Chain A
Amino acid sequence: MMNTADKKTTVLAFTGKGGVGKTSLSAAAVRLLSEAYPGKKILAIDADPAVGLATALGVDVDFTVDDIRKSFVKTAESGNTSAAVELLGEAKYQMFDALKETGNVSFLAIGRPEGAGCYCKVNAYLKEIISMIAGNFDYVVIDGEAGIEQVNRRVMEKVTHLILVSDASKKGLQVTRTILTVAGEMVMFDKAGLIINRLPDISVADRLDTAGLEILALIPDDPGLAMNDIAGDSIYSLPGSSAVIQGAKHALKKLNLIGDV
């Protein structure tokens, strides 16, 4: 077994406006990485409150990080005070209950964001444990909320690859620029790139203002994916030739994360 300090974990975060296909692309990336590297450990983190990545990967979620947060708050409210070392131990203990392991892919759902009240200390403990767990994996794929700052606040401080996802809409591309600006100010990534998804026609790509971002993939609208989603099937049901799988593969190749598989 390798000490986590020796391990360099590659962390990919998919972010962008809602409804642009982040979840399907995150799931596709998990599938491609697990197929390309059967001996490597991959962690999929669903940081979207809707917990759609679980469905996309065919995972049943019964316990999320938010459930852990609630149990901490409930314990604190009942007057039970614990030392930091106990809280970290507890967060670690419960995080393993939330971690779903299937083959070389593990899954962790963050769940809904916290409600009213300041739970900064609890969030700090949970984030610490997520980072600790993530350090044991070779690849971490995060299906993010709209902005990177939520990923930063609720999941982990820094990602290695920030993958912005947009459709062809002006609003979608505007959101990606905002995310990139915020992420850049906070120095939270090593590499960034853009995937334009659900293009009605690939030829419109030339007319899009991508603000100089590297285009990782242009993905046409995929009726097969829509049917898959309607049926509630996982990404593993899609043929390898489907547009979303091919697009994700193209993006991962451009980022040198996979070779010709």
Chain B
Amino acid sequence: MKLYDECFEGVGEILSQYSVKSFEAQKYSHWESNDKNQIIFQSDTAYELGGGTLPALSSIALTDREDFVTRDEILLIGKDLGEIKGDSPFARIALLNVNEDEMGTGEKLYQTIRKIEYARYHIHPEGYMMRISAFTHREAARVGKDAVKKGLSFGHIGRFFIDEYKKNPQVKAVKLLFVTDPGFPYDKLEAIMKKSESITTALDHIMKDIRMDCQTCSLKTVCDEVEALCEKDK
């Protein structure tokens, strides 16, 4: 499965230029989960990750190459939740090693990718309220004052994500990257993320075999690439 390999390489290149903190996923197993309707009010909010007009990026990319994602890993560039003092730019990238044989092809492949991606809608750590906009591709989060006091860390949040992603039998290992560094090149990351999303969208586009003028379609370049990669994978 080579569809997203270019994205992996792009993320890897950016990461190589930054100091990355690593969390041992197994050490962060205990943090209470709230119900899906949890609201953290402004008065109870310590700060917002990706609040207002600050970057609030999220993306997912999948590969069958084990050298890209060797084991479950939580990485951070920037400050951890207990160190952040005000609204902060934010990015969350999930790089997943999947068993290609179980991903399916065609429409099933697209649906499997989306199902794995939707894991983020099922994660509700106490004191961490995600705000996800599929329309604007933003993923922000309000972090509660109490949760910060109790020691909530990206290690805990990452653990929630890893556990949820791995409920899908196709997922073998998860490398999860959080970024809060204000000096990080979010625009470069955003370009990679857009590419990743357009690959997934193109998969659906191709599989639905929409009859339209490809010459005028904005997805044409990506579709051509995806079709070529799908052919290689066969």
Contacts and interface: CB of A to CB of B under 8 A. Distances in A.
Partners in one complex: yes
Interface of A: 1, 3-5, 41, 71, 75, 80, 82-83, 85-90, 92-94, 96, 101, 103-104, 106, 132-133, 135-136
B18 interface: no
B131 interface: yes
A4 B133 contact: no
A120 B114 CA distance: 25
A236 B40 CA distance: 26
A93 B131 contact: yes
Instruction: Determine which residue in B34, B39, B41, B133 has the highest number of CB atoms from chain A within 10 A of its CB, and name it.
Output: B39
Contacts of A87: 134
A207 B129 CA distance: 55
A75 B133 CA distance: 13
Q: Which 10 A-B pairs have the closest CB atoms?
A: A86-B134, A136-B39, A4-B37, A93-B133, A89-B132, A132-B37, A101-B42, A3-B35, A93-B131, A85-B121
Contacts of A132: 37
B41 A101 contact: yes
Given A75-B135, A80-B135, A90-B133, 6 more contacts: A4-B35, A85-B121, A89-B121, A90-B134, A94-B133, A136-B37
Interface string B114-131: 100010010000110001
A229 B156 CA distance: 52
A103 B42 CA distance: 9
B146 interface: yes
Contacts of B42: 101
23 contacts: A1-B34, A1-B38, A1-B44, A1-B126, A1-B127, A4-B39, A5-B35, A80-B135, A82-B134, A82-B135, A86-B134, A89-B132, A89-B134, A90-B135, A93-B132, A93-B133, A93-B138, A94-B133, A101-B42, A103-B43, A133-B39, A136-B39, A136-B41
B78 interface: no
B89 interface: no
Nearest to A92: B131
Nearest to A135: B37
Contacts, number: 61
Contact of A83 (B118, B126, B135): B118
A71 B135 contact: yes
Contacts of A133: 37, 39
B55 interface: no
A89 to B, nearest CB: 4
Contacts of A92: 131-132
A101 to B, nearest CB: 5
Contacts of A85: 118, 121
A4 B114 CA distance: 28
A105 to B, nearest CB: 11
B132 to A, nearest CB: 4
B144 interface: yes
Contacts of A96: 131
A89 B35 contact: no
Nearest to B114: A83
Contacts of A1: 34, 38, 40, 44, 126-127, 144, 146
Given A1-B34, A83-B114, A89 B133 contact: yes
Contacts of B43: 101, 103-104
A87 B138 CA distance: 14
A46 B3 CA distance: 48
A42 to B, nearest CB: 11
Contacts of A101: 41-43
